[in-house]
């Protein structure tokens, strides 16, 4: 079999596959969305032979002690998920974080490019989720999931309203995200302020919604992180289909039914969101 070089290494292959999966879903118009993966020691060693002389350190405007010295695979700013497979070295790359935990430098890829403009948000979310999961969390994903975005025009922008609407629109939801979802009011994307606001939500939730913009999900691997985004977006789509009929809702999943699901599946539902 032909040697695929760095593209044959599992973490890079999985990263690229997830980008194409997101593209196939229609969540990544133009350069919309971004993906980062915090590499394991064995990932770094497998990729190291492909590293070049590192670029300059670049400050991020955010800082995290628990990410000092880590390596991330990241999509590039202004790069299209659609092109990840045909132009990977321009569309994504690997960055190293400095000992102060406040700057990155490119060690592979991102040719004539730099990490996603949302790297500060990804970075702060990684920091919070790494701490919240004892190091298990490795993936942060941002997509422009259509039905989720549309809901931010008609539902009150509260964690409770969104969590309840999503839980009640598909029976699997309370099992997949029993803590609910966080909602961030509309903010200017790409900076430290939205990064800090989102990471505050990620202390409690695996997923956060950006009003009129998109969705952030987190997880230990690509399957679970993509699956979470897929589940949330699917549920939002069902909710829309129900609203679009204009019919009165005759039945839904009751709060007691939600409690029964939680009991049988052994998950702890966020009681603050139940009546
Ligand atoms: P980037 O191209 O910098 O990743 O930005 C896309 C995006 O979705 C901004 O929120
Ligand atoms: Zn975006």
The SS3 call for residue 93 is strand
For residue range 152-190, what is the model confidence (pLDDT) as tens digits?
999 999 999 999 999 999 999 999 999 999 999 999 999
User: Which band of pLDDT confidence, cut at 50, 70 and 90, is reported for residue 1?
Assistant: low
Q: What is the pTM of this model?
A: 0.98
Structure tokens at 60: 């991020």
Q: Which atom of ligand 1 is found nearest the CA of 33?
A: 8
Question: What residues are paired with 210 via a beta bridge?
Answer: 184, 214
> Is the CB of 189 inside a 6 Å radius of any atom of ligand 1?
yes
For residue range 14-39, what is the model confidence (pLDDT) as tens digits?
999 999 999 999 999 999 999 999 99
What's the pLDDT score for residue 2? 82
Domain ranges of the chain: 5-273
The CATH number assigned to the domain with range 5-273 reads 3.40.225.10
Percent of the chain surpassing pLDDT 70: 100
pLDDT for 110 beyond 90: yes
Question: What residues are paired with 76 via a beta bridge?
Answer: 115
What is the CA(157)–ligand 1 centre distance, in A?
A: 22
CA–CA–CA angle 38, 28, 22 (5° rounding): 60
- Scan for tokens 């969590």, then name that residue: 163
CA–CA gap between residue 104 and residue 62 (Å, rounded): 11
Q: Kindly report the number of other CB atoms within 10 A of residue 209's CB atom.
A: 28
């Amino acid at each position: 079999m032909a040697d695929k070089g760095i593209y044959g290494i599992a973490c890079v292959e999985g990263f690229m596959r997830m980008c194409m999966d997101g593209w196939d879903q229609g969540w990544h118009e133009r350069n919309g969305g971004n993906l980062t993966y915090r590499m394991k020691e064995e990932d770094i060693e497998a990729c190291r032979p492909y590293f070049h002389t590192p670029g300059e350190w670049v400050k991020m405007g955010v800082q995290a002690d628990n990410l000092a010295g880590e390596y991330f695979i990241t999509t590039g700013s202004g790069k299209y998920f659609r092109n990840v497979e045909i132009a990977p070295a321009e569309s994504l790359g690997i960055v190293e974080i400095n000992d102060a935990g406040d700057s990155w430098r490119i060690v592979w890829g991102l040719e004539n490019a730099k990490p996603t403009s949302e790297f500060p948000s990804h970075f702060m979310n990684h920091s919070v989720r790494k701490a919240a999961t004892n190091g298990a969390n490795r993936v942060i994903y941002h997509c422009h999931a259509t039905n989720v975005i549309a809901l931010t025009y008609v539902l009150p922008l509260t964690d409770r309203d969104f969590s309840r609407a999503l839980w009640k629109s598909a029976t699997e939801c309370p099992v997949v995200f029993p803590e609910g979802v966080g909602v961030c009011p509309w903010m200017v994307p790409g900076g430290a302020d939205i990064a800090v606001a989102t990471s505050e939500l990620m202390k409690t939730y695996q997923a956060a919604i950006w009003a009129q913009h998109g969705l952030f999900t987190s997880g230990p691997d690509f399957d679970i992180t993509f699956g979470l985004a897929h589940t949330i977006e699917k549920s939002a789509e069902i909710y829309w289909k129900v609203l679009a009929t204009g019919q009165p809702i005759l039945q839904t999943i009751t709060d007691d039914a939600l409690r029964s699901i939680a009991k049988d599946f052994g998950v702890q539902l966020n009681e603050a969101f139940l009546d």
